[in-house]
Structure 1
Amino acid sequence: MIDRRRFLEGVGTLALTTAAIAAFGAGDLGFIGRAEAQSADEAKLMALGALPDQVLGKADAPVTIVEYASLTCSHCAHFHETTYPVLKSKYIDTGKVRFILREFPLDIVAKAAFMLARCAGDGKYYPMTDTLFETQKNWAYSQNPAQALMAIAKQGGMSEQQFNACLNDAKLAGQIDEVAKRGSELGVDATPTFFINGKKVSGALSPEDLDKELAPLLGSN
């Protein structure tokens, strides 16, 4: 078992407990409400960060959506369960939108989950985050989130040794912190927060909200 000092530094996530979740704040604490009509400098938004962006969609898509999310945020999970499938089939898969999910963990459990997604291997980041959002209630609020996360990791092909090594990777933990810090510098203060061609939109978009945001950018009604 990792000692409490390293646990509190965000490296020893094998020691995750219910008390730790409460101490760091879980899920809904990140949601504040919709705050539109703000923009980010696109050069700063798309600049190379501490970790390479995981990109879905065509590089030359006319619209780029960057989402800052926490894997323990219930509003983020709701978006990924209800609106994201529409976004992917209607806009990403058709070449209209390039999508990037960036890490903005609200607590130590979300940080651990994002570390696992980054360790999952080539092409497995989004399958892993999809699974984590879909099963959020099973691990994010578990009395033993480390054990629950290990089960998910094993289903994704990760061994227990790889799981332990991933969650003790101090460099990766620091890089995720840097991604979140950059989000804060761009004005992210709630999850989920989206930047749609640089325009900041906070809150879980419904399919209808998404269509309204994208219509003027794509020249559709």
Structure 2
Amino acid sequence: MIDRRRFLEGIGTAALTAGALVALASSGGLAGGLGLIGRAEAQTVDAAKLMAPGALPDQVLGKADAPVTIVEYASLTCGHCAHFHETTYPVLKEKYIDTGKVRFILREFPLDIVAKAGFMLARCGGEGKYYPLTDTLFETQKSWAFGNNPAQALLAIAKQSGMSEQQFNACLNDTKLAGQIDEVAKLGSQLGVDSTPTFFINGKKVSGAMSPADLDKELAPLLGN
């Protein structure tokens, strides 16, 4: 995990604006939201609270009337999250999302300022680019999250997605967006998220990176298999 000092040094190397530093540093990473995290007693949360409109609109994959809804709270710098998205998520998408059985929602729960910057870029990517960008960030996590210059690596990914350096700077300078991501994570903590990844499968809390077999086991009774 990269600490804030190291990330801010990287941002300077990437020639970001001073305003971008203010946007990320003044937001305090997730200091406010993470302070509320505590281990939840219940293993099932109220569906209305889970699906209530939040600070940012949910990015949804799958049919609106799918019988199962999976909400994942993840951090882009979380190795277990990357493992899930590399190994189990392709099975989830092909077998369940694309066939209309599951509606999937990824929500931001960044554990450090580097992950927060990555989520900000995904939100700034434009229509239809949220999941392509988060997929890329999970797939290439080792090259951007744990290198010597995460800001420069993120800039390269942003440019590959069609974003200019000016747009990149403006995105990381968006204090409103930074605060909205904090609010998404704060809701997660209130729902009992205390580690990543954490899933809510029709409201049932499931912690940890599920294997394809684990996923099948969770979904079978809900789909009548």
CA deviation vs aligned residue, 1:88-147 (integer Å, no higher than 9, x gap) = 000000000000000000000000000000000000000000000000000000111000
Partner of 1:39: helix, strand, or coil? coil
Aligned mate of 2:76, from 71, 90, 96: 71
Q: Equivalents in 2 of 1:138, 1:82: separation in Å?
A: 18
Do residues 43 (structure 1) and 60 (structure 2) align? no
CA deviation vs aligned residue, 1:21-41 (integer Å, no higher than 9, x gap) = xxx9xxxxxxxxxx9970111
Aligned mate of 2:130, from 111, 121, 125: 125
Kept in 1, the 8 Å contact 2:22–2:173? The answer is: no
Q: Equivalents in 2 of 1:215, 1:37: separation in Å?
A: 22
Kept in 2, the 8 Å contact 1:69–1:192? The answer is: yes
CA deviation vs aligned residue, 1:27-81 (integer Å, no higher than 9, x gap) = xxxxxxxx99701110000000000000000000000000000000000000000
Aligned mate of 2:200, from 195, 203, 215: 195
Do residues 146 (structure 1) and 163 (structure 2) align? no
Equivalence for 1:9: 26
Do residues 163 (structure 1) and 163 (structure 2) align? no
Return closer, same or farther for 1:7/1:179 CA change in 2, 3 Å cut-off. Answer: closer
For 1:100-119, list aligned pairs within 5 A: 100-119=105-124
In structure 2, the gaps of 5 or more residues are 1-11, 13-17, 32-39
TM-score by length of 2: 0.85
Kept in 2, the 8 Å contact 1:36–1:202? The answer is: no
In structure 1, the gaps of 5 or more residues are 14-23, 25-34
For 1:198-217, list aligned pairs within 5 A: 198-217=203-222
Do residues 180 (structure 1) and 185 (structure 2) align? yes
Equivalence for 1:16: none
Q: Equivalents in 2 of 1:129, 1:203: separation in Å?
A: 18
Kept in 2, the 8 Å contact 1:36–1:201? The answer is: no
Instruction: Indicate the RMSD between aligned Cα atoms, in angstroms.
Output: 1.9
Q: Equivalents in 1 of 2:191, 2:67: separation in Å?
A: 22
Q: Equivalents in 2 of 1:74, 1:197: separation in Å?
A: 25
Q: Equivalents in 2 of 1:132, 1:59: separation in Å?
A: 26
Q: Which amino acid aligns with 1:172?
A: L
Q: Equivalents in 2 of 1:36, 1:191: separation in Å?
A: 17
Q: Which amino acid aligns with 1:113?
A: G
Identical positions, percent: 82
